[in-house]
Amino acid sequence: MTSDKPNKNLWVLIFVAALGYFVDIYDLIIFSIVRIQSFTDIGVPEALMRSEGEYVLNMQMGGLLLGGIIWGILADKYGRLRVLFGSILLYSLANIANGFVQDVSSYGIIRFIAGIGLAGELGAGITLVSESMHRKKRGYGTMIVAGVGVLGAILAYFISEWFSWRTAYFVGGGMGILLLFMRVGVLESGMFQSLDTKRVQKGNIMMLFNNRERFKRYLYCLCIGLPIWFVVGVLVTQAPEIGKALHAETVLSAGKGVMFTYLGISLGDFLAGWMAQIFRSRKKVVLVYQLLILLFSCIYLTRQGITEVEFLWLAFLMGLGVGYWATFITIAAEQFGTNIRGTVTTTAPNFVRGALIPSTLLYGVLVNEMGILWAALVMVVLLTLIAVFALTQLKESFDKDLDFIEED
C-alpha cells in the first residue's frame, strides 16, 4: 500500500529505477550509433552495411517483443523487483559479450539476447514506482524515471565519439552490473505483495484477450503511442534521405539528430509529468503532445532548403512532442489491475516499438507511390489520428486508486 509520507526507501527506488532506465536506453540505441564503425572493423562490405544492419536491428527488435511478454508475465507472477534484477543482468552480460563479436551472425544473436533483457527494465520500473507512490503524486516519480533515463542516449553518443565501439559496449554492460549492487535494499511493491493473500490469477496474459472490454482498453493503450517511434525510427533516422528530398544545404546527420531528439524527449518527459500534476489530467497533456508531434513533423517535412541548424532544432522539438513516452506507460499502468499490471506495462512499450515494423512497411509502399516527403506526411497524420482517437476512448486515470485486480 502507498503512504502519504515520503520516505527514504521511496526516493532510493525512484533513483535506482531512473538509473536503470538510463542504462537501458544507452544499451537500446548503442548499436544504431556504432553500426558503421563496428561493421567496418569486423569486415562487413560497404554494400552490405544497410542490409546487415537491418538484420541485427530486427534481431534486437525480435528480442524486445519476446522479452516484453516474458518479463511482463514474470513481473505479475513473481514480482516487479525480480524482473528488474533479471532483466538488467541479462542485457548487461549480453552487452559485454557484444564487445567481443567478430562476425554478423554472432552480433545478431547477442543483440537478440540483449533485446530480451532490455524489454523488462522500463515496464517493471514504472509499475513499481506507480504502485509505491501516493496516487496523486505518482506522476512525479514516473516523470523522473523517464526524464533521467532517456539521457542515456546522450551518453551513448559521446562514449561512441570518445572511445572504440567495443569499449562503448563494455561501458554499457559495466554500468548495468554496478546497478545490480545499487538495487540491494530496494523494496517490492506492497500492492503486489498483498496479492499473495488473495486467490487471484497473476500474470495470465490471456486475460487481455478473453474479455472484449479489457482487450479494447489494452489496444487503445497501445495505439496512443504509435506516433512516437515513427518520429525516432523514420523521420530522424532517415534524415539524410529526407534532407536530400528537401534540397538541404548539407547532408543531415542522423546521429546528431538522434541526440537532439533525445534531449527533447528528456525535457518533454519532465514537462509532461509536471503538467499532468498541475492540470490533474494525463489525457489532456498527451493530446497536446500528439498535436506537437504533428505540427513540428509537418514543418520539418515541408522545410525546403533546410539547414543543419534548422534540422537539429526541429529534431529537438519533435523529441519534445515525443516526450509523453513515460506518461503513455503510466496511463497503461493505471488502466489495469495489479494482477496483470506488470504484463501490460512491460508489453505495451515493446509492442509500440514493434509497431514500427508494419508502419515502416506501409511507409515503404507509400514512398514508391508518392515519394519520401508525401509518404512521411501521410504516415504522421494517419498515426496521429489513430492515437488521438484511441486517447478519447480511455478514461482519465490521473489519481485512480491502483489497488484493484482484474477479474477472470
CATH of the domain at 334: 1.20.1250.20
Q: Is 120 in the same domain as 213?
A: no
The pLDDT of residue 197 is 46
Choosing from 113, 148, 183, the residue where a domain stops is 183
The pLDDT of residue 238 is 79
Number of domains in the chain: 2
Q: Is 134 in the same domain as 236?
A: no
Q: How far apart are CA 384 and CA 228, in angstroms?
A: 9
Q: Is 129 in the same domain as 12?
A: yes
Q: Is 110 in the same domain as 232?
A: no
Q: How far apart are CA 348 and CA 351, in angstroms?
A: 5
**Could you tell me which residues come within 8 angstroms of residue 313 by beta carbon, excluding any fewer than 6 positions away?**
260
User: Does 98 map to a domain?
Assistant: yes
The pLDDT of residue 315 is 94
| Cβ proximity of 24 and 149 under 8 Å | yes
Cα 291 to its chain centre, rounded Å, is: 20
The pLDDT of residue 312 is 94
Domain that holds residue 136: 1-183
The pLDDT of residue 234 is 81
**Could you tell me which residues come within 8 angstroms of residue 201 by beta carbon, excluding any fewer than 6 positions away?**
207, 339, 408
Q: Is 346 in the same domain as 232?
A: yes
User: Does 291 map to a domain?
Assistant: yes
Chain position carrying cell 490533474: 280
User: Does 275 map to a domain?
Assistant: yes
Q: What is the pLDDT along the chain (408 residues), one digit of tens a residue?
A: 444 444 556 777 777 777 777 887 888 778 777 777 888 888 887 777 666 776 787 788 888 888 888 877 787 777 666 777 788 888 889 999 998 988 888 888 999 998 888 887 776 677 777 666 666 666 677 677 777 777 787 888 888 888 888 998 999 888 888 877 766 555 444 444 444 545 555 556 677 777 788 888 888 988 998 898 889 878 887 788 888 899 988 888 877 888 888 888 888 888 888 888 888 888 899 999 999 999 999 999 999 999 999 999 999 999 999 988 878 888 887 888 777 777 787 788 888 877 877 887 788 889 888 888 999 999 999 999 999 999 999 887 666 655 556 566
Q: Is 91 in the same domain as 176?
A: yes
Q: Is 60 in the same domain as 119?
A: yes
User: Does 197 map to a domain?
Assistant: no
User: Does 202 map to a domain?
Assistant: no
The pLDDT of residue 66 is 86
The pLDDT of residue 203 is 52
Q: Is 150 in the same domain as 241?
A: no
What's the chain's Rg over C-alpha atoms?
20
Q: How far apart are CA 218 and CA 72, in angstroms?
A: 14
Q: Is 154 in the same domain as 245?
A: no
User: Does 194 map to a domain?
Assistant: no
Buried b (16+ CB within 10 A) or exposed e, 5-44: eeeeebeebbebbbbbbbbbbbbbbbbbbbbeebbeeeeb
